[in-house]
Amino acid sequence: MRVVREFLDKPCKVTVFSWNGKYIIKLEHGPFEQTFKVSEFDMLEEEIEGLLNDDFFNDAMNRFDAMGRSLKNALNA
């Protein structure tokens, strides 16, 4: 697996890897991470940044919030 690109100027840390014919887009925020896999046949490396738009990050940040609530609820159960 090789690192293709890192974005540190986004709402969360984004690392893009290339592995086994796929781009793996990993988002990290606090103790949580989300991973998306996209075939290298479906997208060029230069197109990845265009995928990372405001709607994408709004949805991702909402999922991070939901993940935090889920963990908090599980720990308090």
Q: Which of 15, 16, 8 shows the shortest CA–CA distance to 40?
A: 16
- Which ranges in 21-53 belong to alpha helices (H)? 48-51
Q: Token pair for residue 25?
A: 């887009």
In the prediction, which pLDDT does 77 show?
A: 80
Distance CA 13, CA 3 (A): 13
In the prediction, which pLDDT does 24 show?
A: 97
Instruction: Return the amino acid letter for 45.
Output: E
Encode the chain (77 residues) as per-residue pLDDT tens digits: 999 999 988 999 999 999 999 999 999 999 999 999 999 999 988 999 999 999 999 999 999 999 999 999 999 98
Q: Token pair for residue 31?
A: 């103790």
> pTM (2 decimals)?
0.90
23 pairs with which residues across the strands?
Answer: 18, 38
